[in-house]
């Protein structure tokens, strides 16, 4: 496939997904399966067949707080994705953007556990920092080589 040829030509990859029901989106999960499968050797050493080492990153956005992520075990899937990206490509880092806005208008959904004032404050104060961190990840990957 053309996308995999582009991956092999790249110097870095940054993926992104919202967290839905404790894991990356279904589309991202399917993409990761297709991407990683073809570069996995299933022998005694379980080596990577990817032709070089590159930086990879994964940026997640979620309606959950960092406490909820740990309490409900959402971090297990996130950690597994980082492990697999490291295994295939040699390097990976993860950026988590917590407590993002899931809906434009919370009055249209049943969501009694959401503190709308706190969520708006987080969106205003923390989300720009997360966006800056994502930009900085891209800059690092563009200037560093794995």
Average pLDDT across the chain, whole number: 91
The DSSP bridge partners found for residue 96 are 60
> Residue 108 maps to which CATH number?
3.40.50.360
Asked if 51 and 89 touch (Cβ cutoff 8 Å), the reply is no
The predicted-structure confidence for 1-26, as pLDDT tens digits, reads as follows 788 899 999 999 999 999 988 999 99
Residue 117 pLDDT exceeds 90: no
Rounded to 10 deg, the angle between the 26-37 and 75-89 helix axes is 30
Spatial distance between the Cα atoms of 73 and 10, rounded to a whole number of angstroms: 32
Could you tell me the pLDDT band of residue 61, with boundaries at 50, 70 and 90? very high
Radius of gyration (C-alpha) of the chain in whole angstroms: 17
The predicted pLDDT at position 138 comes to: 96
The predicted pLDDT at position 146 comes to: 61
H or E stretch at 136:
helix 127-143
Instruction: Find the mean pLDDT for residues 104-115.
Output: 78
pTM, two decimals, is 0.90
Q: How many domains does the chain have?
A: 1
The predicted pLDDT at position 11 comes to: 94
Contacts of 13 (CB under 8 A, 6+ apart): 7, 54, 55, 56, 57, 89
Q: By three-state DSSP, how is residue 129 classified?
A: helix
DSSP string for residues in 34-48: HHHHTTB--SSS--B
H or E stretch at 72:
helix 66-72
Find the domain containing 47 and state its range: 2-143
């Amino acid at each position: 496939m053309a996308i995999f040829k582009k991956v092999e030509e790249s110097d870095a990859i940054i993926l992104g997904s919202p967290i839905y029901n404790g894991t990356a989106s279904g589309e991202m999960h399917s993409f990761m399966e297709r991407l990683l499968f073809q570069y996995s050797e299933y022998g005694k050493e379980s080596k990577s067949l990817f032709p070089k080492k590159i930086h990879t990153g994964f940026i997640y956005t979620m309606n959950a707080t960092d406490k909820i992520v740990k309490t409900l075990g959402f971090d297990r899937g996130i950690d597994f994705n980082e492990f697999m990206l490291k295994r295939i490509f040699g390097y990976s880092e993860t950026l988590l953007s917590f407590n993002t806005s899931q809906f434009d208008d919370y009055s249209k959904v049943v969501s009694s556990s959401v503190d709308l004032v706190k969520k708006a404050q987080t969106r205003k104060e923390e989300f720009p920092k997360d966006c800056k961190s994502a930009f900085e990840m891209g800059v690092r990957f563009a200037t560093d080589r794995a």
